[in-house]
Amino acid sequence: MLSVSPSMVGPVGDRWTAEQVLGLAPAESAAAAARRLASPAPWSGTGATAQPPVVWGSCQGSGATPYQTAVDLAGDVTGPAFRCSCPSRRIPCKHALGLLLLWSDGRVEEAEQTRPPEWVSAWLTERSSRAERAAQRAARTAEADPAAAERSAAGAEQRRQQRVSRATAGLDELDTWLRDQVRAGLAGTDRTGYAAFEAVAARMVDAQAPGVAGVLRRLPAVLVTEGWPERLLEEYALLHLLVVAHRNLDRLPEGLAATVRSRVGYPTAKDDVLAGPAIRDRWAVLGLRDTAEDRLTVRRIWLRGERTGELALVLSFAPPGQPLDSSLVPGTAVEADLHFYPATPPLRALVGVRHSAVGRAAQLDPAQLGGLEAALGIWATALAADPWTTAWPVLIADAVPVPPETGPDQRWWLGDPSGAAVPLLAGGLDRWQLLALSGGHPLVLLGELTPGGLRPVAVPAAMPASDPAEGPEGVSP
């Protein structure tokens, strides 16, 4: 089900830009190595077909036999698929990237009549049959043995109940701890140190409430900030609210209950999300940010439906050095089904079936987007539905970054042409870069509203792939 065989996919739309290709590189060094291979000299027997969308060729390396490299551009849910006979363990390897760069440069023959060579079609067939087998297997286990399915469903229900009661017990303990804190007073909490929170957090991990544990582990960072008593009280109050909400889980509306579950840290299976309803749209990739968290690299990708205007967040995780989901490249768009994780309001999503190849994202029209006021309205609505929200994406049509005055108050602001402003936070898109892109003019900005202000994420017009003819100008008139 998840895998899309090449024949289902339409013809390759636009040829990719070099940036789209380099966006697939697992590391900067790989991109540099690929650039060196992006000249016709080492290549022979290159070719490409639109249907199925594949590019192939042989690359003369240091060895005697050339490496056979092929890329299936349609690939599957995680992006294009790669095959190379080189010994590199990188996926994609420099040969695959170099080949794609060559192709993006128009230096690979692409013709209707060309047939992929034997080794390429064999690989494609193998891939599609493997995908089919997996789908069949899944279908078989569901259909063939209804009794087993029932058993496993009953087992799942039992496990779910177990988890709920474990979490309930843990959260009750947490509540007692929270009450103790405010009864005795928060004064002096900043001197208690890291260990006190860690002990409670560990208890929450045992209670299978990792979301709550995460909040508790971030508290020592709050304590070293200016005005920590306020912020600590906020955090305690919201944790208390979560405990109360969890206690009443069965009486909550389904959407809110899902939000509470996800905040506590109940897992949601990818398959369940993908089995849920989908929103089909042409999803444009607005921004991408990688951060290191808990020995994992987290990639956040912000999508926007070109017809619905809906924003979505796709997360992927990988151990450091391992490639992350490379299927969504900023500046591109793909017609696809998007499945949102159950929550109100929905934000996190998974990409399901893709109905087209990757193309270029349409330019955003500032006239159809709201300003800062509208963004704050969206933020308020999101908070009303999910008070635990700490960041909500917004698109602002006419954002003007204001650099810190060289006075004592060295703060950045994000203003709009009317002169209204909110604090502009560090940690996303570099603020000097944002200022350079704006040149003091209003621009379309993707940002995240947070309790402390707005964190800039990306300037969609400055995406490398957004306009191939000219460089990233990034200034909307």
Please tell me whether residue 473 binds other proteins under the rule CB under 8 A: yes
Please tell me whether residue 344 binds other proteins under the rule CB under 8 A: no
| The binder of other proteins chosen from 103, 236, 340, 341 (CB under 8 A) | 236
Q: DSSP class of residue 51?
A: T
| The binder of other proteins chosen from 179, 218, 270, 307 (CB under 8 A) | 179
| The binder of other proteins chosen from 234, 271, 272, 365 (CB under 8 A) | 234
DSSP run (H or E) holding 370 = none
- φ, ψ of residue 391 to 5 degrees: the values are -155, 135
Q: Which stretch binds other proteins (CB under 8 A): 51-59, 166-174, 225-233, 274-282?
A: 225-233
- Measured CA to CA, the distance from residue 264 to residue 310 in angstroms comes to 26
Please tell me whether residue 420 binds other proteins under the rule CB under 8 A: yes
- DSSP β-ladder status, 349-354 and 332-340: antiparallel
Rg (C-alpha) for the chain, rounded Å, is 25
Please tell me whether residue 468 binds other proteins under the rule CB under 8 A: yes
| The binder of other proteins chosen from 200, 437, 445, 446 (CB under 8 A) | 437
With beta carbons less than 8 A apart as the criterion, state whether 433 and 425 touch: no
With beta carbons less than 8 A apart as the criterion, state whether 257 and 249 touch: yes
Residue 145 CB neighbours (<10 A) = 12
Q: Which stretch binds other proteins (CB under 8 A): 53-61, 121-129, 196-204, 438-446?
A: 438-446
Helix (H, G, I), strand (E, B) or coil at 1: coil
Q: How many residues bind other proteins (CB under 8 A)?
A: 67
Please tell me whether residue 36 binds other proteins under the rule CB under 8 A: yes
- Measured CA to CA, the distance from residue 242 to residue 229 in angstroms comes to 20
Alpha helices in 38-145 (DSSP H): 94-104, 118-143
Please tell me whether residue 359 binds other proteins under the rule CB under 8 A: no
- Measured CA to CA, the distance from residue 347 to residue 289 in angstroms comes to 16
| The binder of other proteins chosen from 8, 27, 32, 138 (CB under 8 A) | 32
Q: Which stretch binds other proteins (CB under 8 A): 132-140, 258-266, 303-311, 418-426?
A: 418-426
Q: Which residues in 29-173 belong to E strands, given as ranges?
A: 43-49, 54-59, 67-76, 79-84
Binding mask 185-224 for other proteins (x = CB under 8 A): xxx-------------------------------------
CA 200, 201, 204, 206 torsion-angle sign: negative
Please tell me whether residue 451 binds other proteins under the rule CB under 8 A: yes
- Tell me how far, at minimum, the Cβ of 292 lies from other proteins, in Å: 18
Q: How many CA atoms lie within 13 A of 243 on its CB side?
A: 20
Residues that bind other proteins (CB under 8 A): 17-19, 22, 28, 31-32, 35-36, 178-179, 182-187, 229-230, 233-234, 236-238, 240-241, 244, 372-373, 376, 379-380, 383-384, 387, 400, 402-403, 405-406, 413-416, 419-422, 430, 432-433, 435-437, 439-441, 451, 462, 464, 468, 470-475
